[in-house]
Structure 1
Amino acid sequence: MTTINRRELLKLATAGTVAVGTGALAVQVLTAGGSQAAPARDTQANAPAGERFAEVYKGRRIEGTAVAAAAPRAARSLAAAPPATAATPDLLIDGVPLHVMVNGDGTYTSVVNHYETFRSLREVARAAVDQLDGAALVNGHHHR
């Protein structure tokens, strides 16, 4: 009869945990691919191809532009590619740029409201003004 020491037991337990986790992740990815792909395309199809606005909201000047741009050829893969008509957003609050990201489903999020998604660039700008509550937006670039 062979005996297993603690180190070998730990190796076996770790390998088993990794195998179970990898299998569970594979099942989740394979089963979620078909059910979530259609809504993402529908949302993107309903998103505006381009958006421009300039207004004063709660005393703050907000300006935004989202121009449709094609995704880079190298970034086009089956699962991880951004939509082919993803908009490149440009948003200013009182002349200071606010960093805005485009999500895979065509919605937007910003550094001010990082955990919320918005259907339009105007919604992002207004939510950022609400969140700032009178505070000045500071340019996010680091200076030396």
Structure 2
Amino acid sequence: MGLLDRMKKRLTDRVTRRHLIGTAAAAVVAAAGIVRSVPDPPGPAAPVPAAPVPDPPVPGPAGASGGVPFDEMYRGRHLQGRPVPEPPGGPAGHDSAGWHVTVDGRRLGLMRRADGSYLSMVDHYESYATPLAATRAAVDELGPLQALSGLGH
């Protein structure tokens, strides 16, 4: 066997090994994807954690800014909120919802939805019955270390 034959054999062995390793890796990845897509067998459903009980909704029409002021500590944060009277010309602004709310002295923007519920600038995806519930949810979303910017948005 000549030098050229030995070099061809080594090159063929090397390519084959790489090809086998690559094919094996692709097979492992594909198998992992198939396993993840197979649904769990039917059985007793896992218990669903109970949702927190929301505060009762504030009575009044959707445009009313009435409600009970709050000043409390929640998860180490100081929450304050008070209704803001609407000016004679109409609502106080799109982000006030008729309330001035702060978390640790920094302003939290609230919006009131057409159905009378509230959402905060921190959590746009959930609606809450009261400004206090929306403020608590914002604190939950922020966690213990993150602070509000103090801006309305």
Instruction: Calculate the TM-score normalised by the size of structure 1.
Output: 0.52
Structure 2 match to 1:120: 130
Taking only aligned residues, the RMSD between alpha carbons, in angstroms, comes to 3.2
**Residues 113 and 128 in structure 1, CA contact (< 8 A), matched pair in contact too:** yes
Q: In 2 relative to 1, CA 51–71 (structure 1 residues): closer, same or farther, beyond 3 Å?
A: farther
Give me the whole-angstrom Cα distance separating, in 2, the residues matched to 1:133 and 1:124: 14
Q: Is the aligned partner of 1:136 residue 2:153?
A: no
- The counterpart of 1:107, out of the listed 97, 107, 117, is 117
1:56 match: secondary structure: strand
- The counterpart of 2:76, out of the listed 50, 59, 65, is 59
How far off its partner does 1:66 sit?
2.2
Name the larger-Rg structure: 2
Share of identical aligned residues, percent? 34
**Residues 65 and 98 in structure 2, CA contact (< 8 A), matched pair in contact too:** no
Q: Which moved more, 1:86-95 or 1:49-58?
A: 86-95
Q: In 2 relative to 1, CA 68–104 (structure 1 residues): closer, same or farther, beyond 3 Å?
A: farther
More helix by share: 1
In structure 2, list runs of 5 or more residues that go unmatched: 1-58
2:107 match: secondary structure: strand
Q: In 2 relative to 1, CA 140–87 (structure 1 residues): closer, same or farther, beyond 3 Å?
A: closer
Q: In 2 relative to 1, CA 122–141 (structure 1 residues): closer, same or farther, beyond 3 Å?
A: closer
How far off its partner does 1:141 sit?
6.6
In structure 1, list runs of 5 or more residues that go unmatched: 1-42, 76-81
Structure 2 match to 1:98: 108
Give me the whole-angstrom Cα distance separating, in 2, the residues matched to 1:118 and 1:92: 17
**1:46-97 CA-partner distances (Å, limit 9, x unpaired):** 9883220000000000001124537846x9xxxxxx9xxx950111000000
Q: In 2 relative to 1, CA 141–104 (structure 1 residues): closer, same or farther, beyond 3 Å?
A: closer
**Deviation >4 Å, runs of 4+:** 43-48, 70-73
